Amino acid sequence: MDEPKLKLFVWTGFCPCYTAGLAFALAYTKAEARAAVVKAYGHEPREWGKCRVHRVEAGRAEAIAGGS
């Protein structure tokens, strides 16, 4: 049986206030990733935004512009 592989979970539109935030976690499952983000953020966010999942082996770059 194949070993589970780490994935990169990226939430855009995370906990927006004046501008949308960004959250990410390396984890095996979305549930583990959400738990890691909650721990890092300090509490459950009121809005998660959209989540995209990426293979770690593929490499990845994203940029989110903030401001007006």
Residue 14 confidence (pLDDT): 92
Residue 2 placed within a domain? no
Residue 30 placed within a domain? yes
Confidence check: pLDDT of 35 > 80? yes
Q: Please tell me the total count of domains within the chain.
A: 1
Confidence check: pLDDT of 63 > 80? no
Q: What is the mean pLDDT of the chain?
A: 89
Residue 57 confidence (pLDDT): 84
Residue 67 confidence (pLDDT): 64
Domain extent for 43: 7-55
Residue 14 placed within a domain? yes
Confidence grade of residue 43 (pLDDT, cut at 50, 70, 90): very high
Q: What own/partner pairs with CB < 8 Å and gap ≥ 24 does 16-24 have?
A: 16/47, 16/49, 19/66, 19/67, 20/49, 20/64, 20/66, 21/49, 22/64, 23/48, 23/49
Residue 45 placed within a domain? yes
Residue 60 placed within a domain? no
Q: What is the mean pLDDT of residues 56-62?
A: 79
Residue 42 placed within a domain? yes
